[in-house]
Structure 1
Amino acid sequence: MKVYITDTLTKEKVPLETIEPGVVKMYVCGPTVYNYIHIGNARPMVVFDAFRRFLEFIGYRVMMVQNFTDIDDKIINEANEWGVNWKTVADTFIAEYHHDAQLLGVRAANYHPRTTDFVEDIVTAVQKIIENGYAYTASNGDVYFSVRKLKNYGKLSGKNPDDLRAGARIEVNDLKKDPLDFVLWKSAKPGEPKWESPWCAGRPGWHIECSVMSQKLLGDMFDIHGGGEDLIFPHHEDEVAQSEALTGKPPAKYWMHNGMIIVRGDKMSKSLGNTFMVREAVKKYGKDGVKLFLLSKHYRSPMEFSDDILEDNSKAAARVQATLNRFREKYPYPLVPKEDEEMKDITAKFTEALSDDFNTPVALSIIFDVSRELNKAMDNGNDERALKMYHLIKRVFGPVLGVFDSETQKKSASLSNFDTLIKSVIDLRNEYRKAKQYDMADKIRNILSDSGVKLLDTPEGTKYEIVEGEE
């Protein structure tokens, strides 16, 4: 099956044709580890984890690398505030990243390299870039990449160097020959961590780390480089420049970028103080609620953040999970159904959606449709069809997107607590019914109904399902 992705470099939707048949080598830019990760950080985590799962589902072997920037001005500043070593800060938040990734059900990459583990390789790479004529040493020992030496600089972002001005993440100083030149190696200030180099005691610049780590782990050129669209310029543009100056090749054959999460018109970022931490979101809305939110828009599109939108996705996730739980109560030992034409057709539509530039909104709509069909099949006593629909969600679609892979859907404390609460209310209603206090029993039913909980009086007892809203 052909997979199509939108390549940031060509600005076109193109077929994925890997360098090595059947193998996808993918590098995704990871966090600078000076704080907990927020929902904006989580979008590329969830998107590229799901994309990796999908590629594996259709038969590719995927080698995925996601780095940690573990030395940076922000980390040093945080360490100074804490009164600890910079490594303590980095180690702390790398551990917290893995904790939050686990909360989200995001699998670890094959490799999670740290910048400081590759300093010697970075020094060697910078030296070669200098020898190739694309970098120079400033009077204080800083090493800068000479942007004007590269004829096609700006091709990834579509920016013309003549139109660019020094901006947010472009350092302006008198040591540069051109304001656009960016640092490959920076001299250490008094008290800062430092490593020896031929130019000065210092540390790597921000961009060079990814060029070196990806080259060392995936080769001079790999298949896909991913990340948030805020990294296109200058970070990924500078990666392209460094790699071409170093090896004569672009680092990646294709570039994929996810859109930003917008909060009241601004990009979500720690510097703006408008972040919502992942662990808080998972606690409040559940893992699947957060992931449905992050996958509910096409990955390249910006998406708006609000409590209402997350709450809607949390309810949608809870409805699907309640349907799955209802099935497990009725069929505690579900078998694997024999695949028939209907199952093949639904699976084909799901796969086609994800093959078309990873269209997760369409894929999710298919899951919601199948969930409704599962409820109908159980209502009608069609056990065979119910088993097929359950299998599609639980054993096929859910694992591909990393959702509905647990028997309970956490929300606040957990759905199991919610389930216990609702069943206690149902028991109270049944007591009123036994006592023939039908007005009180009806009042409880109506209160639950107004809260989105529908009661079903069946021969096996009273069941419930969450029905509020539409997917």
Structure 2
Amino acid sequence: MAIQIHDTLAGKKREFVPLEPGQVRFYACGPTVYDHAHVGHARSYVVWDVVVRHLRARGYQVKYVRNFTDVDDKIIKRANERGEDPIALADFYARAFDEDMAALGNGPPDVAPRVSGHLPQIVALIERLVARGFAYAPGNGDVYYAVRKFPEYGRLAKRNLDDLLSGARVDPGEAKRDPLDFALWKGAKPGEPAWDSPWGRGRPGWHIECSAMSAAHLGEPIDLHGGGKDLVFPHHTNEIAQSVAAGGEGELRAEGYSRYWMHHGFVEIDDQKMSKSLGNFFTVRDVLAKFDPEAVRVFLLNTHYRNPINYSDAVLVEAEKRLVYLYETLQKADALGAGAPAGEGAADGDLVEACRAALDDDFNTAAVLGLLADAFTAANALADKKGKKTPEDRARLARFARDARLAGHELGIVQRPPAAALAALRDRAAARRGVDQALVARRLEERAAARKAKDFARSDAIRDELLALGVALMDGPQGTTWKVE
């Protein structure tokens, strides 16, 4: 089955056909690094990580570029408030961002360019736009893009110039010819970083940065561009106008920059977009201090990427419980299927291919999690079936364990050794509930002694005491284990 992508520009799903067979050039807009990443950022880059994983699983060679915006008004404002150098501040948060993404299980991009390292490319791109009549320098150190020169401006956002004009304005100090025009270069101001240019010292505008960095590392045009829905306008709209106008001769069509556009929905708090500007955000670090990173990943992938999702601690608790079930099932399957010939055959219903087919359909991660849930339920039932397991049962469980991990790899889940994952999940839950693990260990020793002495009343009393603390005991052939309910 061919991969289908809902292309924002077309407004519908389209079969994915890259410019060069077998090669994918993918650019995702990266963070503006003036603070720690929040859960909304986590959603974005978990989604793009799955896109890259799946494209590679389908045999494509993917070059994934995700930038850092380290020259921006917000960075300058924060640095000035703290009395710090803006580039140094941005570097600190860029490194913190990389740590957060690695903790979430995201693979690194192939290239992570920074604006501060691409000033020559940005200046050259602006020069081309000026030379071709799409940009102008009014003489005050600024350079603006002339929006009305680009006939398809607003097509990505499905908005026309009249609609856009109603919300446009010229701020004090700006020398725009038209309220719709936007800054490509901003003349130097006191307290701001600045670089040399043909128009005087200054710094780039936000939109030109991504056009220059994507061209520098992927060439033009590219196959796939991703970002949040909030970037459709003005950021991606302006990227298209800049890149197509600067790209050379030919028809000025929006498709001339990226063949496909993907935009994900927001993470919301009480049905409002999670954002730093609204102050209703949770940083990745704060969340990971309480919850298992893989549980965060499961939560983010449990809704189709184009739809909004509502964040709460309660949904992450449920995601952790779901992971416990998955890893407990894998642990049983590993034990019962040990040594059985998994063979080359497919597991029941060809789990891996079914999951890949769901991802082929516009990266439907929620459908994949549903397929995995069914497979884990069936495997758990087989593992818990009374009586001795037949060779066929053991082979089915071995195949399940193999294929569940293969399918999970494309989502970045169920890749840890089950015992280690279950211990980590238990520790997180115990910390949140305030469970004293040393106390639990002492009570388990006391219970083991009571059972050995056949004092079953004492054994049951200890079980009940721990259950009242939120601790459930599981007795098995290898002894007693526990988990937080």
**TM-score normalised by the chain length of structure 2:** 0.88
Name the counterpart of 1:389. 400
Structure 2: how far apart are the matches of 1:258 and 1:447? Answer: 47
Compared with structure 1, are the counterparts of its residues 437 and 60 closer, same or farther at alpha carbon in structure 2 (3 Å cutoff)? same
**Secondary structure at 2:20's aligned position in 1?**
coil
Instruction: Supply the AA of the counterpart residue of 2:411.
Output: L
**Pairwise CA distance, 1:51:** 1.1
Structure 2: how far apart are the matches of 1:401 and 1:456? Answer: 30
Structure 1: how far apart are the matches of 2:274 and 2:170? Answer: 23
Compared with structure 1, are the counterparts of its residues 344 and 326 closer, same or farther at alpha carbon in structure 2 (3 Å cutoff)? closer
Compared with structure 1, are the counterparts of its residues 167 and 332 closer, same or farther at alpha carbon in structure 2 (3 Å cutoff)? farther
1:144-163 → structure 2 map (5 Å cutoff): 144-163=144-163
Kindly indicate whether the alpha-carbon contact (under 8 Å) linking 1:3 and 1:357 is maintained by their aligned counterparts in 2. Answer: yes
Structure 1: how far apart are the matches of 2:365 and 2:43? Answer: 13
Name the counterpart of 2:241. 241
Compared with structure 1, are the counterparts of its residues 443 and 296 closer, same or farther at alpha carbon in structure 2 (3 Å cutoff)? farther
Structure 1: how far apart are the matches of 2:156 and 2:287? Answer: 34
Compared with structure 1, are the counterparts of its residues 434 and 116 closer, same or farther at alpha carbon in structure 2 (3 Å cutoff)? same
Compared with structure 1, are the counterparts of its residues 383 and 454 closer, same or farther at alpha carbon in structure 2 (3 Å cutoff)? farther
**Secondary structure at 2:136's aligned position in 1?**
strand
Name the counterpart of 1:58. 58
Compared with structure 1, are the counterparts of its residues 383 and 446 closer, same or farther at alpha carbon in structure 2 (3 Å cutoff)? farther
Deviations 1:161-183 (A, max 9, x none): 11114759x86344111111110
Structure 1: how far apart are the matches of 2:468 and 2:398? Answer: 31
Q: Which moved more, 1:75-84 or 1:405-414?
A: 405-414
Compared with structure 1, are the counterparts of its residues 424 and 132 closer, same or farther at alpha carbon in structure 2 (3 Å cutoff)? farther
Deviations 1:60-96 (A, max 9, x none): 1111000000111111112112222112101101110
Kindly indicate whether the alpha-carbon contact (under 8 Å) linking 2:187 and 2:202 is maintained by their aligned counterparts in 1. Answer: yes
Structure 2: how far apart are the matches of 1:197 and 1:392? Answer: 56
Name the counterpart of 2:85. 85
2:176 matches 1:172 = no
Q: Which moved more, 1:414-423 or 1:204-213?
A: 414-423
Structure 2: how far apart are the matches of 1:258 and 1:11? Answer: 14
Instruction: Supply the AA of the counterpart residue of 1:286.
Output: D
Compared with structure 1, are the counterparts of its residues 9 and 312 closer, same or farther at alpha carbon in structure 2 (3 Å cutoff)? same
2:29 matches 1:68 = no
2:116 matches 1:116 = yes
Deviations 1:20-66 (A, max 9, x none): 11111100000001110000011110001011101111211111000
Kindly indicate whether the alpha-carbon contact (under 8 Å) linking 1:25 and 1:223 is maintained by their aligned counterparts in 2. Answer: yes
**Secondary structure at 2:277's aligned position in 1?**
helix
Name the counterpart of 1:432. 450
Name the counterpart of 2:371. 366
Instruction: Supply the AA of the counterpart residue of 2:180.
Output: L
Name the counterpart of 2:262. 256
Please point out which of 288, 291, 316 is paired with 2:322: 316
**Secondary structure at 1:163's aligned position in 2?**
helix
**Pairwise CA distance, 1:321:** 2.3
Identity of matched residues, %: 41
**Pairwise CA distance, 1:283:** 2.5
Structure 2: how far apart are the matches of 1:335 and 1:61? Answer: 35
Instruction: Supply the AA of the counterpart residue of 1:441.
Output: S
Name the counterpart of 2:42. 42
Kindly indicate whether the alpha-carbon contact (under 8 Å) linking 1:144 and 1:185 is maintained by their aligned counterparts in 2. Answer: yes
**Pairwise CA distance, 1:282:** 1.9
**Secondary structure at 1:401's aligned position in 2?**
coil
Deviations 1:410-449 (A, max 9, x none): 4485589999777765544333323333234334445666
Structure 1: how far apart are the matches of 2:344 and 2:481? Answer: 30
Name the counterpart of 1:216. 216
**Secondary structure at 1:215's aligned position in 2?**
helix
Kindly indicate whether the alpha-carbon contact (under 8 Å) linking 2:346 and 2:399 is maintained by their aligned counterparts in 1. Answer: no
The unaligned stretches of length 5 or more in structure 1 are: none
1:66-465 → structure 2 map (5 Å cutoff): 66-165=66-165, 172-173=171-172, 174-248=174-248, 250-327=256-333, 330=335, 337-343=342-348, 345-380=350-385, 381=389, 382-394=393-405, 396-407=406-417, 408-409=420-421, 410-411=424-425, 413-414=427-428, 426-445=444-463, 455-462=473-480
Q: State the number of aligned residues.
A: 464
Instruction: Supply the AA of the counterpart residue of 1:404.
Output: V
Kindly indicate whether the alpha-carbon contact (under 8 Å) linking 1:269 and 1:275 is maintained by their aligned counterparts in 2. Answer: yes
Deviations 1:202-245 (A, max 9, x none): 01100001111111111110110001111000000000100111
Cα RMSD (Å): 2.7
Deviations 1:123-150 (A, max 9, x none): 1110110111111112312101011111
2:18 matches 1:13 = no
Kindly indicate whether the alpha-carbon contact (under 8 Å) linking 1:166 and 1:180 is maintained by their aligned counterparts in 2. Answer: no
**TM-score normalised by the chain length of structure 1:** 0.91
Kindly indicate whether the alpha-carbon contact (under 8 Å) linking 1:134 and 1:149 is maintained by their aligned counterparts in 2. Answer: yes
Compared with structure 1, are the counterparts of its residues 430 and 171 closer, same or farther at alpha carbon in structure 2 (3 Å cutoff)? farther
Instruction: Supply the AA of the counterpart residue of 1:135.
Output: A
Deviations 1:332-358 (A, max 9, x none): 977772132435622221111111111
Kindly indicate whether the alpha-carbon contact (under 8 Å) linking 2:347 and 2:400 is maintained by their aligned counterparts in 1. Answer: no
Q: Which moved more, 1:110-119 or 1:378-387?
A: 378-387
Instruction: Supply the AA of the counterpart residue of 2:83.
Output: G
Structure 1: how far apart are the matches of 2:25 and 2:47? Answer: 16
**Secondary structure at 1:207's aligned position in 2?**
helix
Structure 1: how far apart are the matches of 2:321 and 2:383? Answer: 21
